[in-house]
Homo-oligomer: A and B are copies of this chain.
């Protein structure tokens, strides 16, 4: 793992006249680009007709780029199978939840379960890897593109139906085991054979939640299988190259950890403004008031960091940004122009969170097709755009600062994809969202200036952390239960809830007891009530001081733990002592802040209160501060630093500072 930071670029030579390539390559090299990703969507140019290949252009593009010292990331082009393939495999197209077959004409138009397309995916991967796998300029491979983007993980096709039945047969062995696990006796839903099991759609009222959860697991597994088939071929035919996938943000429909396990490097496509617009439009729950407008041209100050840390975990510590937003994009509900400086800020934020390479999407804005309004480093007329200037500045700063790595984080936050599916399957109250809750914890931690390591529920070694937070894990596995128990015994502090460990792996409530698993076994959740986010309850500490508000979700709890905060109905909301703490409601930002204040005391974690939009990350060369807000912040006035590099102590909007001093006392 190199600690040197690099820049990359996404390039589509097939979109431009060959005459431009050499000049493009030269300018990339001059800008300080190390890596160029190519051939991502080029299948129709590589294989314009079935079995008939055109290599000259790609050979030439590779040589042109390599000739100026650029290193290449090649892609399997499987996210965009050409039109002729649909004639070959008419049923490779996925079906939507209404049973309509999706049409050719955009991208990601394949069903992960389709055996014929799986074969094509292996075939084209093999052909590409054989041709370029040992080319000296090829540094790595990207598999496919943005698995799950455009809601493409789940397909209601015949292939998925058959595949699901087989998967169930393998999982349960007998149909009675499945009937038992799902509780199918409930509404006479018992099956006599696996062949009778439908995909869980178009039912009269909701289908069995265990049924739906299993289908989500199955669908996620298909993504991992699809990826692993490409990975196996690439490993064999292109030894020594890094295998990467570019995950999408805001995509929780498959288990990124499982795919990450197959990769050398985890990367993601980081579009702060696009995500901010999408996310805020969908459901802003848990986002502080004013964020929608205040960060419209900068992005949510915690959304990028959350994904950096999530995908760094998926990559077991190795992270790239494969695509970074360079200006306005085309695909969000609204597409603002980024504040000047934000492209640089996002780049440094990514590096500070551990990214090794930050690659911009794309070299030059395309003048045609779906993304013609998506900016690039260069305008369609080939003049440099604003992002070009900022990328050049980053390149210089990389040289000046040299290599570095993130420091170890004092807080671990358990994030679990299956819990997202489980809560989404039965929300109980329609405002609940697992990922919004988890992001709420993350945000509250980051506002206190604390670095966070996102960990898997299967993580083994918790000893590096002063605090482990476990929100809304629907099923607490025996492993994690033991692990946390041991961690607590050795002095670690754990904060759980709400909705922690209330179900088993089959999505059933334990009949024997309502006690939570250890180390939370003093807690018993009798009932849960839900309400709309508008109905808030004031939450006070035992001195009757208001500490924030709860809403959306409220557990009725019996516990021997001391109650620290309670609501106006005297229901315990936050409880704990020594090393074990639990929160039984959805806390608003103020309450989340108060809870962390208490838990930080127990865990002996130092914190600051960072002002609006200011965030920081500790690294081996100092602490980076980045200013997402539209205000100036003076780090000295805020008592955060005495001296700072890059933009200095007086941090303007979109400013970045590096504070070498003061690292240890933070």
Residues of A within 8 A of B (CB): 14-15, 41-45, 48-49, 77, 80-84, 87, 94, 96, 98-109, 149-150, 152, 182-192, 196, 198-211, 293, 296-297, 327-328, 330-331, 333-337, 365-373, 375, 379-382, 385-386, 426, 428-431, 506-514, 526-532, 534-535, 554, 556
Contacts and interface: CB of A to CB of B under 8 A. Distances in A.
A431 B281 CA distance: 13
Contacts of A198: 103-105
Contact of A196 (B84, B96, B98, B330): B84
Q: Copies of this chain, how many?
A: 3
Nearest to A526: B379
A430 B333 contact: yes
Given A183-B367, A192-B48, A370-B186, A204 B150 contact: yes
24 contacts: A14-B185, A42-B188, A44-B185, A80-B188, A82-B188, A83-B189, A96-B202, A103-B200, A106-B206, A183-B367, A183-B372, A186-B366, A189-B369, A210-B368, A327-B527, A333-B532, A334-B429, A334-B430, A337-B529, A368-B509, A373-B528, A381-B512, A382-B511, A386-B527
Contacts of A42: 188
Contact of A535 (B293, B508, B534): B293
Interface of A is mostly: loop
Contacts of A183: 15, 366-369, 372
A316 B105 CA distance: 40
Given A188-B82, A509-B367, A509-B372, A335 B428 contact: yes
A385 B529 CA distance: 14
User: 7 tightest CB-CB pairs across the interface, nearest first?
Assistant: A183-B368, A186-B369, A337-B529, A44-B188, A80-B188, A183-B369, A367-B509
A369 B105 contact: no
Nearest to A280: B532
A204 B205 CA distance: 26
Contact of A527 (B102, B337, B514, B532): B337
Given A103-B200, A335-B429, 9 more contacts: A103-B199, A106-B204, A182-B369, A205-B331, A205-B370, A293-B534, A296-B535, A337-B529, A367-B510
A429 to B, nearest CB: 5
Nearest to A207: B105
A58 to B, nearest CB: 13
A512 B185 CA distance: 61
A166 to B, nearest CB: 18
A428 B188 contact: no
A44 B367 contact: no
A172 to B, nearest CB: 15
A99 B100 contact: yes
Specify which of A150, A203, A371, A512 lies most central, judged by the most chain B CB atoms within 10 Å of its CB.
A203
A80 B203 contact: no
A429 B368 CA distance: 18
Nearest to A293: B535
Contacts of A426: 330, 372-373
A196 B48 CA distance: 14
Contacts of A201: 103
Contacts of A331: 205-206
Specify which of A104, A196, A331 lies most central, judged by the most chain B CB atoms within 10 Å of its CB.
A104
A361 to B, nearest CB: 14
Contacts of A507: 368
A529 B335 contact: yes
A203 B530 CA distance: 37
Specify which of A83, A186, A198 lies most central, judged by the most chain B CB atoms within 10 Å of its CB.
A186
Given A182-B368, A293-B535, A508-B372, A528 B328 contact: yes
A526 B383 CA distance: 10
